[in-house]
A and B are shown apart, each in its own frame.
Chain A
Amino acid sequence: MALSKLNFNSLNLTPVAGKGIGFDSGADDLEASFSGGAMTFISKSTASSSSTISFTSGIDSTYKEYVFIFNNIHVSNDDEAFAFQGNAAGGADFNETITSSYFRSIHGEDGNNGALAYQANADQAQGTAFQALLANIGNDNDQSGSGYLHLFNPSSTTFVKHFIARGNYSSADNKSYNTHVAGYFNTTSAIDEIQFKMTGGTIDAGTITLYGIN
């Protein structure tokens, strides 16, 4: 706890909310211009045989864009999808209506199967299932998947909520998959919670970190 106060206007500068105190160009005076940057850490979850990983706070109107970075998601079961869903403010479950697209490039460690294709079994048309981000991760000790998910303006009560994701993973059949996922929660209710899980088994290791973008 602070022992005493320094009045803000005892400093020779004009205060600006959200700005820090930095030196001006002369380096011998102060100004309220310092900004911490546009990408702000909010929270991080570390998987440990986790059935689900949920972000139930920190998603509101503070930021117009949120980014989840998932890093080295390692799974218990072969050939299951790493997926996510949202829950509207006041809602009871992660079952919002999603329309989405999913395509990926693929190439085997043996040099076969180089291809680019739409993957219809991973998209949704007004579905309420968890949306696949990494469709069939392998569970060998060194296998995992990583990527990001951008969620735009989740607090809007006017527009649907768009998301864009990209990832890369090593699959159960030893191929590199590069995934491109996008879509929207087809609701005008605010989305204030996001949950990640595997379509089967658990997330045995990995991290998911939430950031806000100014």
Chain B
Amino acid sequence: MAISKFNYNSFNVTPVAGKALSFNSDADGFSTAGASSMVLIKTLTASSSSTLSFVHGSSSVVLDDTYPVYLFKLINIHSSGDSVTMKVNFRDGGSAYDASKTSTYFRTSHRENDTETVFGYAGGGDLANATGEQQISGGLGNGNDESGSGHMYLFNPSSTTFVKHFFGVTQAVAATPQTEQAFFGGYCNTTSAIDGVQFSLHGSNTMDAGTIKLYGIADS
């Protein structure tokens, strides 16, 4: 508990609401400093998890017009099964993750034994006004040291005027084994606000380890 307080105007600096007190460039005086524009909102840790969901207003998650852009970081997602793709879906009202999406998907891959390289569009990973999950990675291997990582941007999910753009990239150790980089992007073809984002693995597989972090990117 604080024993005493400084009055804000006892410092030789002009107070600015929402800013913090910091040392200036002379290192012998004070100035105000802003927080980072990239703000950690929530970290979810997988533990035999069928899904990891970020729902606005639940468990301290913010996913509304507080931020114009949101960034998800997926770190070392480890699958229970072998050759299992990561997925994402969006909630645009109600409790179901079933927003209609049109998207693209392409990837590069290279096998550890050097027998094959791939670079190209993968029609199996795209969607055309479909409500199913969006594939966001190649098929993860489930060896003890195998996993997938990456990130996804979601733009202006609270808009009730525009479709909601998203895109991202993931890198995985695919089951072959091979390195596989996946590029996905598209839009939720709805003018309803998106207030929830859910990550999962294909089929009944679970995320046995890994974390997904949600950040907000402020524009003021």
Contact of B163 among A142, A205, A207 (CB under 8 A): A142
B55 within 8 A of A: no
* Residues of chain B from 118 to 166 with CB closer than 8 A to chain A in the complex: 120-121, 123, 126-129, 153, 155-156, 159, 161-163, 165-166
Contact between chains at A8 and B162 (CB < 8 Å): no
Inter-chain CA distance A168–B37, complex, in Å, is 22
What chain B residues lie within 8 Å of A36 (beta carbons)?
A: 20, 22, 33-36
B189 within 8 A of A: yes
Asked, given contacts A5-B12, A41-B218, whether A114 binds B22 with beta carbons under 8 Å apart, the answer is no
Task: Report the minimal beta-carbon distance from A37 to chain B, rounded to whole angstroms.
Answer: 2
What chain A residues lie within 8 Å of B9 (beta carbons)?
A: 2-4
Contact between chains at B166 and A168 (CB < 8 Å): yes
Interface size class of A (residues with CB under 8 A): 35 or more
A124 within 8 A of B: no
A39 within 8 A of B: yes
Task: Report the minimal beta-carbon distance from A78 to chain B, rounded to whole angstroms.
Answer: 16
B81 within 8 A of A: no
1/0 contact string of B77-106 vs chain A (CB within 8 Å): 000000000000000000000000011111
Interface size class of B (residues with CB under 8 A): 35 or more
Binds A, one of B24-32, B45-53, B194-202, B206-214: B24-32
A187 within 8 A of B: no
**Chain A residue with Cβ nearest B169:** A166
Contact between chains at B104 and A32 (CB < 8 Å): no
1/0 contact string of A119-163 vs chain B (CB within 8 Å): 000000000000000000000011111111000000000000000
B220 within 8 A of A: yes
What chain A residues lie within 8 Å of B22 (beta carbons)?
A: 18-21, 34, 36
What chain B residues lie within 8 Å of A111 (beta carbons)?
A: 128-129
Contact between chains at A116 and B121 (CB < 8 Å): yes
Inter-chain CA distance A180–B24, complex, in Å, is 39
B183 within 8 A of A: yes
Contact between chains at A143 and B68 (CB < 8 Å): no
Contact between chains at B128 and A143 (CB < 8 Å): no
A186 within 8 A of B: no
A175 within 8 A of B: yes
Contact between chains at B128 and A110 (CB < 8 Å): yes
Task: Report the minimal beta-carbon distance from A28 to chain B, rounded to whole angstroms.
Answer: 10
Per DSSP, chain A at the interface is strand
A176 within 8 A of B: yes
Inter-chain CA distance A117–B14, complex, in Å, is 54
Contact between chains at B105 and A209 (CB < 8 Å): no
Inter-chain CA distance A142–B153, complex, in Å, is 19
Contact between chains at B185 and A19 (CB < 8 Å): no
What chain A residues lie within 8 Å of B220 (beta carbons)?
A: 41, 44
What chain B residues lie within 8 Å of A51 (beta carbons)?
A: none
Asked, given contacts A176-B187, A211-B37, whether A146 binds B21 with beta carbons under 8 Å apart, the answer is no
B38 within 8 A of A: yes
What chain A residues lie within 8 Å of B11 (beta carbons)?
A: 2, 5-6
Contact between chains at A108 and B128 (CB < 8 Å): yes
B219 within 8 A of A: yes
A100 within 8 A of B: no
**Chain B residue with Cβ nearest A21:** B21
What chain A residues lie within 8 Å of B69 (beta carbons)?
A: 69, 71, 146
Task: Report the minimal beta-carbon distance from B106 to chain A, rounded to whole angstroms.
Answer: 4
Inter-chain CA distance A167–B69, complex, in Å, is 13
A72 within 8 A of B: yes
Query: Can you list 10 residue pairs at the A/B interface with Cβ under 8 Å?
Result: A5-B11, A6-B6, A17-B23, A17-B25, A39-B217, A105-B106, A114-B123, A116-B104, A147-B165, A178-B185
Listed in ascending order, the chain B residues whose CB lies under 8 Å from chain A are 6, 9-14, 20-30, 33-38, 68-69, 102-106, 120-121, 123, 126-129, 153, 155-156, 159, 161-163, 165-167, 183-187, 189, 191, 217-220
Listed in ascending order, the chain A residues whose CB lies under 8 Å from chain B are 1-6, 8-9, 15-21, 32, 34, 36-41, 44, 69, 71-72, 74, 105-112, 114-116, 141-148, 166-170, 175-178, 180, 205, 207, 209, 211
